[in-house]
Amino acid sequence: MVDAVSSSLVDGLYPVGQRPPLGAYLAETWRRRSFAFTLAGQRLVGSLVRNRLGMLWLVLKPLSMALIYGTIFGLILSGAARPPGFAQYVIVGTFVFEFFTGSLGSGAKSITSNAKLVQSLGFPRILLPVSTVIEQAMRMVPIVCLLYILLIAFGEPITWKWLLVIPILLLMGIFNLGVALIVARMTVVVRDVQQLIPILNRLLFYGSGILFNVDGALAHLPVALTAVHLLPTYEFIAMARDAVLSTYTVPLIAWIAAPIWAVGTLLFGVIYFWRAEARYGLSD
């Protein structure tokens, strides 16, 4: 039996129901990376062809959210809580947050919604949450294009810093993948986690300052302000705003903490997910 297991690991495979060594597991994941990209593309196309408006929904959803929330809060906010360039401020925050919320929601269901695939075939299960984040990254392409168009329409000056949006989103994608891996395993153990996802999304949506200037609103609450500045979603959104908005400057702590969040969350997520590899095929 030991010889058989060793031979299968040499071939890049491993017995179903057993957890391979982490190095072999990651090597096999990399070898099968095309599977994650193919699955992501097919899932994206499949979700769009069923709708009459097709790919337009990729931009209509975040755009409608920015319009609705921006209109409501635009009428309510005043003073220091209302940032300059309010429309652009809300659009950038809403569009960037869409990347996180999509990765979190689809990542949580990546194993449980593919139960038959998981139980039938032997492959690194990590490819499933990876494919969901890849899909969300694909969805961001037209969203980023629309973002640039809207910013130009609002008169934002085009600078070289606009190019920073891409590496910022890539860094956020690393963080999103770590989060997706964590919630994917948690959902296998406790299905109720999926019910908590919308609550967490709402909490982070408002807590990350999508619709208001947290520095102005929480200026008299330094502890709360520091807590918000340490939220990873706030940091990625703040960096994106700093890159494209002439009226916004990101706190230095965001540029320091965001990479730490991204790398730390991914490392923890990979190990946390891998440790339960043997049980995913047993999920119902």
Per-10-residue mean pLDDT, the chain, length 284: 40 59 92 92 79 71 88 82 89 94 92 81 88 94 93 93 95 97 91 87 90 86 87 94 90 87 97 89 57
Which among 264, 217, 266, 257 has a CA at the least distance from the CA of 237? 257
Q: What proportion of the chain, given as a percentage, has pLDDT over 90?
A: 52
Round the average pLDDT of the chain to a whole number and report it. Answer: 86
Q: What's the pLDDT at 29? A: 92
Q: What's the pLDDT at 119? A: 75
Which among 225, 215, 48 has a CA at the least distance from the CA of 138? 48
Q: What's the pLDDT at 98? A: 93
The Cβ-side half-sphere exposure at 98, using a 13 Å CA radius, reads 28
List Cα–Cα distances, 12 to 7, 21, 131, in angstroms. Answer: 9, 11, 20
Which among 92, 123, 95, 96 has a CA at the least distance from the CA of 16? 123
Q: What's the pLDDT at 190? A: 82
What pTM did the predictor assign? Answer: 0.88
Residue 108: Cβ-neighbour burial (10 angstroms; 0-12, 13-18, 19+): buried
Q: What's the pLDDT at 85? A: 87
